Amino acid sequence: MREYLQFYIDGAWVDPVAAKTADVINPATEAVAGRISLGSVADVDTAVAAARKAFGSWSQSTREERLDLLGAIQAEYARRQTELGDAIIEEMGAPASLAHGFHVGLGAGHLQTAIEVLRDFRFDEQRGATMIAREPIGVCALITPWNWPMNQTCVKIFPALATGCTMILKPPQLAPFSAQILTEILHTAGVPAGVFNMIQGSGSVIGTALSKHDDIDMVSFTGSEPVGVQIQQDAAPTVKRVALELGGKSPFIVLDDDALAANVGAATAGMMGNSGQTCSAGSRLLVPASRLDEAIAAARDAADGVTVGDPKGNVAMGPVVSRAQFDSIQGYIQQGLDEGATLVAGGLGRPDGIDQGWFVRPTVFVGTNAMSIAREEIFGPVLVIIGYDDVDHAVGIANDTTFGLAGYVNGTDLEQCRAVARRLRTGWISINGGFDFHAPFGGYKHSGNGREWGDFGFHEYLEIKSLLGYAPA
C-alpha cells in the first residue's frame, strides 16, 4: 500500500502542519490502495511564502538555464515512465495500455513541446523606440483533476517553469499517486528550492486557500464548471488572473459519405476511451437522419466490442474513478431511459460477469439534443446519437449547447470538413483524427477561458510590459 504523507515545499519533503490523512481507493477493486495527508491553510501559507521567495531569482533565470532544467526533467521522466503508468492504473483505473501509453505519453509530449517552444520564444519585441517585454506573472496555483492526471499536470507545470514562474501544485485527491512521483522527478532533476511546491488535499480547503491568497498571482484550474465559477469568485477580491479549462458536451459530426459506418464506429470506440472521463470527449454523435439505422448498427457493434475489466489486463476500458462517479453515471443512464431515449447498447449496472469495482457498461442512446443526456456533461462512457437533416442542421445542433470545448468532424471530403469545422463555436476541433501538441486547447462559452498547449500555453503565465523610450526612435 502506498503512503504519501509529506508535502514538497521549498525544495524538501516536509510533514504537514496538522496530521490528517485520507484513504485512496482503487476503483477496480474498491480496496484501499494508499493514504495521503490532507493539507491545511497553514500548509498553503508556507508553500506560497517559499514560492514568493524563489520567484525573485527564478524569474531572472536565463533561457539556457530553464532549458537545461527541462532537459534534466525529461531524462528523469523517461526513466520513471513505467512507475507513472503503474500509479495511474492504480489511482484511477486506466487500462494498462492506456496508462503506459497515452496517459504517460501526454505528459512527455507536453514536456517536449515546452522545450521546443522555449528555444525560440520571443520574450522581448522591439517596436520602434518601445520594447514590449513578456515577463513571468509570478506565483501560480495549479489545480488539476483526476481524469488525465499527467496531461493536466504537465500542461501547467512545464510552461510555468519555462516562463520563469514559481508554483504550488494541488493534485486531485482521488488520483494523487502519479503527482507524487512527478514531484520526485522534479526534485531529482534539480528544480531550485521553492520554484515548485506540492500540497495534497481537498479542493474545498487547498483550492480555496490558493484562490483567495493575496500572494498568488494566477490560478490555473482544470475541472468542473461549478468549481471554476467558485474559483473566479474566490479570486475576484485579489484581482488575480484565472485560467479555466472546464467541461464539455462536444459534438462529433459524421458527414454523409461512404465512410459513415467506419467513422461512427471510431467515434463510438473513442468515446469509451478512458471510461468516457474526458472533458473533450465527443459525447454527441451527429449522423445523417436518413442513415440513422446504419449508424445505430455501427455504434452498437463498436460499443459491444469494447472489452471491460481488470485494468491490469488486456482490456480497452477499466472502471470509472469512484463510487460517486459510478452513481452519477447510473443516474444519467436512468434519466435517458426516463426521457424516452432509445437504448442501443449497454445500460444500467455493471457489465456481465463483473460484480466488484466501479465498472460501467459502454452505453449508447439515440435521442434528441433537448434531452439531459445531450445537454449535461455525464463524464462517463455514455454516447447519444442525434440525427440531422443536412449540414446546416448539424451545425445548428452542434452549437446548441452552453459548452464549447471541443468538436470533431469526420468525412472523406476535406473541403466540406473544413467548412463545417469553421462554423462550430468551440475552441478545439479535430478533423479526421487530427492531433497536435502545439495547437492551443481551451473552450468557448461555459467551457472556460484561456488556452493551454504550445506557445499559447506560455502566454497564460506571462505579463506584458511596455518600455517606452527604451531605444532611440
Instruction: Report, as residue numbers or ranges, the catalytic residues.
Output: 245
With the C-alpha atoms ordered 76, 81, 86, 90, is the resulting torsion angle positive or negative?
A: positive
Task: Give the DSSP H or E segment for 450.
Answer: none
- Among candidates 398, 362, 150, 334, which has minimal Cα distance to 273? 362
User: What are the CA-CA distances from residue 29 to residues 22, 204, 275, 308, 323 (Å)?
Assistant: 17, 27, 16, 14, 11
- Among candidates 445, 435, 315, which has minimal Cα distance to 381? 315
Question: Can you give 135-187 as a three-state secondary structure string?
Answer: EECCEEEEECCCCCHHHHHHHHHHHHHHCCCEEEEECCCCCCHHHHHHHHHHH
Q: Could you tell me how many helices (H) and strands (E) the chain has, helices first? A: 16, 21
Between the two ends of the chain, the Cα-to-Cα distance in Å is: 66
Task: Assign 38 to helix, strand or coil.
Answer: coil
Quote the cell numbers at residue 292.
440513422
- Among candidates 250, 271, 253, which has minimal Cα distance to 432? 253
Q: What is the DSSP string of 338-379?
A: HTTPEEEE--SSSPTT--SSS----EEEE--TTSHHHHS---
Phi, psi of 2 (to 5 degrees): -80, 140
Q: Where are the alpha helices (DSSP H) in 236-322?
A: 260-272, 292-304
Quote the cell numbers at residue 348.
444500467
Task: Assign 106 to helix, strand or coil.
Answer: helix
CA distance 183 to 203: 19
Strand partners, 342: 366
